Structure 1
């Protein structure tokens, strides 16, 4: 995909999300003038960008959407459920067209039938009530004989001056560049202001494309190549051949990328009476100054670039040629668009740097060489690593912004009333985690609306508000993010879940009777288990919740369900903020080396105080009992020992065991070597070491033969046959080339 098309698609996708949410706000409060202005502005920008890129099908269809929205804005049409459904269907059609542009660059969707229905709703107030001939959608039909459209203040045929944005200027016209000497007279000078933008090169390219299409010849200063590279300061000069100043101003002012344009005939010294200027919206005119283009399309200046909230008025910047006095006061560009593949490539290079740094440190240690330069490299690599990881962080809103529309559509399909809230949409997570979590969150939200929230009649009978509430909340908790989906519906009945599990053969009667309520709630994650009484288009097939848990665990996270019968249900995800590079402690299990994430470890100690209670081994810490998991047995049962052995081989001489170590920290890299060799007989006579896991992660103590070392490593997820192996979260490649399995302490 070329850069211009990619930029258009990215901006269009953002605009579609904004349009969905603006329409939801309008549907919730039809009297909200600000919501109406947002809807109209976003729709207009989408249409204008499509026209500038040459996607006429999208632009024409967007014009029909815009005209219907304008009828609503002028009070000619009421906001009804039928009208909103039609508008949402229109947005979905635009989204489909943009997806086709992203895939192939061409639009194959035929929106003519929906466009006819939009026109019928605009003109007659009913869907599909008019013939194709009477609702053709061209602008001559949309205007009356007087050249005015309704009471919207949109004037036809008057040029930019009639829009209230024009006037004579004292614009100084620069000398004609050498490259413009061959342009046919009269030559019109245009001072084009783009303003502050995140896509300077793309915006300039779209203006150049419009100049190529509308006029016979032109020259720009800077040259087109420099403009397309973004090498200009918020604006540039254009010299157009054999044109009228008002026509140039009108044509360029119609582009959403152009904040302002002033024109004059070269040789006159200043703008004549035909000079015109198109400016951005300002606070005193929220609907924006508009002018009617020659083909009848309504022109409204876009507000995408407002560095300080002030509009550019004629003559306020002084002479454009040879003057840069205002440039020092302009805000610098604060952000850039970077392709995600480039970010991933950078991150991959950082991972290689981390591995090489580990290898170098090991080689120097083996040679008994101390190096201050290596310590400095450690600091620089760590800083680069943190920066690269931060670059991958994106706000939760990148995913959550599409959920209000989802909940709205499902609730309408089910005839339920839902108030949906989102909290913490500015919380940032790794792009990979957020991408993988989108589908699980969609499934949980569907369940909340379908299974969780009762019908309005059922809620009223139970003494509840007929409108159910669903809340999506994200919150940062140290190096994790907690995401919750909370509903105030009927909740889960633990006894009913137990009976369902027995009926479907998921668990035996004895097993479910021994379950606590929390354990019974976890039954919803069992493959094939569903509480739905009937299968619907929304849910009930017994697929999904097991995938939800698998996805969370694959991301080194977890998911749990809490419920209060009659009051509601909470599905809580606990996910790491970032992935890949973590600090681990290496342990020896039967001659094989494994890694345990440091963030999960509370304490490391000798296995001196292991007790046996009712046949189970435990260790006491303060007033709590921690079950002991012998890694040699558990990993053998799960098949992880074989996986680890094949990856790393024997590590019997990797290091001496650590004695009496507590609270491992990030800067502890050298093990204590006074404990002697560890036994591997697995007895309870004090042999081996215990790694006590943090209570909030899992209240257990892991028994190993020896604790070896700590290192920062690059963790790769398991692929192929090893994917989903219980007890393993991934593998780490060490500096000497060894591959070590990293344990998942939650699923052991």
Structure 2
């Protein structure tokens, strides 16, 4: 039962996110029939799922939301922001029910006040009274083979249901089918039920019903969306010789075929365990290769095969851990909408690149930082409609969340067209807080000034609002992204807007590194950051700093021994140079020796070690030795 509950909760969370986003679309465009159809399908599914699992109160809540939306669809009440607030409150209550089911296996909260509130909004709305003509007759077109229908001894009829014209045939059919299924046992449908609810029928669809009721046609025709019902009683003992031709005429529903299963659900704990086993396999492979040595050629060849298998398995597992951005950003449109309403601001929120994939761990970690950034964008970035109009801007502000893949990194940006960062105010506040002195503050570029907001507790706002609490979250953003081996930056143009950029790795844990030695200590440098390895070159002095030249380009020299405070003398003559890629950092590293490369399992430093410049983590080698992995960007 617990497995079913977990799957039910996960599916329910997806439905809530989908419902929120469709409601936002409807709120911005009340004439969007596609949004209304998605809303009804989702609300209907939630109601049915709650009922099927025995959570009747939650089912009644979803039903109340559905009824209020139905009144909007019928044109009985208009779509307004205030009424949408009531609907959103109902959706929030549904989400709270899911949280309780996940935690305790039951719904303990009292949802009746919310249901009463939703029903109150419906007061005064009249249900349309539509009289429907119904006929019961016999037809020669048979859609079902009676011999294949499991009626369990009951009478079986074939009912062809003709629907009224509608701009949303799928939604109307969904309600009709719901009414029919409450009264009759549906044995089959042409087209299939899912296709009917998707509106994939011309003017009618045909059902096989097991029933002992007499007037089937009149019962079905009570629904206002049905214009006519034709019923034929089927003989379940007959061979149904016309079935094949009739099925072809009805569109070959193919109800007897089952497609190949293309995906399966995997528990995240099992996925993490598999990932851990792959890490152990990589470490064991390193141990095995080092213990064998280079004397046994046959063993070396077999180890090469093991390398290929391990690498393929590693790539597969890492791909399994990738999750699209939409899994976390799906809730952000609702967040921005509620914040804007609270601040009496108008905001158009756009998401781009939500199909970009990241490791599950990274995606989970950056959810809260992105929320902090969006809160600040609404609260401190976007101006009030009056201020925007006075500045010659559109009264509706714009916020864009954009994600794009760049090789093995993902760049996520939050862009707003608000008032931008007040650089002078930040300089003043930085001096007041003792972060900088006046001279240092004046020497900073505007981008460097803007990045001062990442200091813990830094704020230029005297009043901390309920929306963002400026300064409470931006340092958390920086700490979290840095811990994930990423970086964060901010650029701003006064009066034009602000862009906060997060750059993160796609995956974590297993990387290929180059081993170097300095002062008798071994270190690892990620291969992806290295451009060239060479012997020591002639040195020059520029402004008192050591530099080396590559193709007429000057690169500052960083001696690992000095940077890491490692004692010892340089071996291998004058040592070796490791030139870092310009995209990472324009610098050349000096070391005593280069010792080869290997794939290793990197464990990021935590606690007090996590903030040390130049260090990103540690790796355990085959012999059990621990090697420090360098962060060339901060070295």
TM-score range, shorter chain: 0.7 to 0.9
1:379/1:542 Cα in 2 relative to 1: closer, same or farther (>3 Å)? same
* Deviation (angstroms), 1:187: 5.8
| Residue number among 419, 434, 438 corresponding to 2:367 in the alignment | 438
Q: Give the whole-Å Cα distance in 2 for the aligned partners of 1:352 and 1:606.
A: 35
CA separation of 1:514 and 1:687: change in aligned 2, threshold 3 A: farther
Query: Alignment RMSD, CA only?
Result: 3.7
What's the counterpart of residue 145 of structure 2?
171
Matched positions, count: 579
**Separation in structure 1 between the aligned mates of residue 386 and residue 282 of structure 2, nearest angstrom:** 60
In the aligned structure 2, how far is the partner of 1:737 from the partner of 1:466?
62
| Contact 1:74-1:152 at 8 Å conserved across structures | no
Separation (CA, whole Å) in 2 of partners of 1:422 and 1:247: 35
Residue 250 (structure 1) aligned with residue 228 (structure 2): no
Contact 1:281 1:287 in 2 (8 A): no
Please point out which of 703, 714, 717 is paired with 2:601. Answer: 714
Question: TM-score when scaled to structure 1?
Answer: 0.71
CA distance in 1: counterparts of 2:149 and 2:479, whole angstroms: 68
In the other structure, the counterpart of 1:84 is 84
Distance 1:617 1:682, change over 3 A: farther
2: CA distance, partners of 1:118 / 1:286? 35
**Structure 1's 345 and 190: CA in aligned 2 closer, same or farther, altered over 3 A?**
farther
Q: Deviations over 1:332-367 (max 9, x none)?
A: 222111111121111111111111111111112265
| CA pair 427-360 structure 1, distance change in 2 beyond 3 A | same
Of 370-379 and 443-452, the range deviating more from structure 2: 370-379
SS of match in other structure, 1:473: strand
Contact kept in structure 2, 1:489 and 1:568, CA below 8 Å: yes
Q: Does 1:600 align with 2:516?
A: no
Q: Does residue 1:405 correspond to 2:328, yes or no?
A: no
Structure 1 residues 423 and 174: CA distance shift in structure 2, 3 A: closer
Distance 2:122 2:619 in 1: 61
C-alpha deviation, 1:390, in angstroms: 0.6
Q: Aligned equivalents of 2:181 and 2:30: distance in 1? A: 33
Say whether residues 1:694 and 2:581 are aligned partners: yes
1:36-84 deviation line (CA, Å, top 9, x unaligned): 1111111111000110111111101111111111111111111111100
Q: Distance in 1 between matches of 2:429 and 2:202?
A: 58
- Secondary structure of 1:124's counterpart equals coil
Indicate if the aligned counterparts of 2:143 and 2:246 stay in contact, CA closer than 8 A. no
- Decide which moves more: 371-380 or 326-335: 326-335
Distance 1:439 1:152, change over 3 A: farther
Does 1:337 pair with 2:315? no
Whether contact under 8 Å (1:253, 1:277) holds in the other structure is no
Equivalent-residue separation in structure 2 for 1:299 and 1:331 (angstroms): 36
Residue in 2 that maps onto 1:735: 622
Q: How does 1:184-199 map to 2 (within 5 A)?
A: 186=153
Gaps of 5+ in 2: 159-176, 208-215, 226-241, 248-252
Distance of aligned partners of 1:288 and 1:104 in 2 relative to their CA distance in 1, 3 Å threshold: farther
Distance 1:116 1:376 in 2: 67
SS at match of 1:603: strand
Quote the residue 1:20 is aligned against.
20
Runs of 4+ off more than 6 Å: 152-155, 188-191, 246-249, 276-279, 285-292, 297-300, 316-319
Which sits farther off after the overlay, 561-570 or 506-515? 506-515
| 1:456-514 CA-partner distances (Å, limit 9, x unpaired) | 11111111111111111111111111111111111123333222211221111122222
Which of the residues 398, 408, 419 maps onto 1:490?
Answer: 419
Match for residue 150 of structure 1 among 112, 128, 132 = 128
Which of 486, 503, 506 is matched with 2:432 structurally? Answer: 503
Give, in whole Å, the separation in 2 of the partners of 1:277 and 1:154.
Answer: 23
1:606 and 1:686 in contact (8 A); partners too: no
Structure 1, unaligned runs of 5 or more: 126-143, 192-245, 255-259, 264-275, 301-313, 320-324, 642-678
2:512 aligned counterpart, secondary structure: strand
Equivalent residue, structure 2, for 1:56: 56
- Aligned counterparts of 1:726 and 1:152: Cα–Cα separation in 2: 74
- State the SS of the aligned residue for 1:619: strand
Distance 2:587 2:93 in 1: 53
- Separation of aligned partners in 2, 1:719 and 1:277: 53
The structure-2 alpha-carbon separation of the partners of 1:278 and 1:464, relative to structure 1 and needing over 3 Å to count, comes to closer
CA contact (8 A) 2:376 2:470 kept: no
User: Superposition pairs for residues 221-260 of structure 1, below 5 Å?
Assistant: 250-251=181-182
Q: Does 1:35 align with 2:13?
A: no
Cα deviations across residues 3-49 of structure 1 (Å, max 9, x unaligned)? 11111111100000000000000000011111111111111110001
Measure, in 2, the Cα distance between the counterparts of 1:569 and 1:489: 7
In the aligned structure 1, how far is the partner of 2:178 from the partner of 2:63?
22
8 Å Cα contact 1:583/1:598 also seen in 2? yes
* TM-aligned CA distance change 1:682 to 1:396, over 3 Å: same
Secondary structure of 1:697 counterpart: coil
Report the equivalent of 1:395.
324
| Higher mean C-alpha displacement, 352-361 vs 692-701 | 692-701
**What is the Cα deviation at residue 395 of structure 1?**
0.9
Matching of residues 195-594 of structure 1 within 5 Å: 250-251=181-182, 261-262=187-188, 280-283=196-199, 330-365=258-293, 367=295, 369-370=297-298, 371-594=300-523
2:116 corresponds to which residue? Answer: 116
1:114-155, Cα deviation, whole Å (9 max, x unpaired): 111100101237xxxxxxxxxxxxxxxxxx9xxxx5368999
* Contact 2:24/2:333 (<8 A) preserved: yes
CA contact (8 A) 1:355 1:714 kept: yes
1:49 and 1:288, CA in 2 relative to 1: closer, same or farther beyond 3 A? Answer: farther
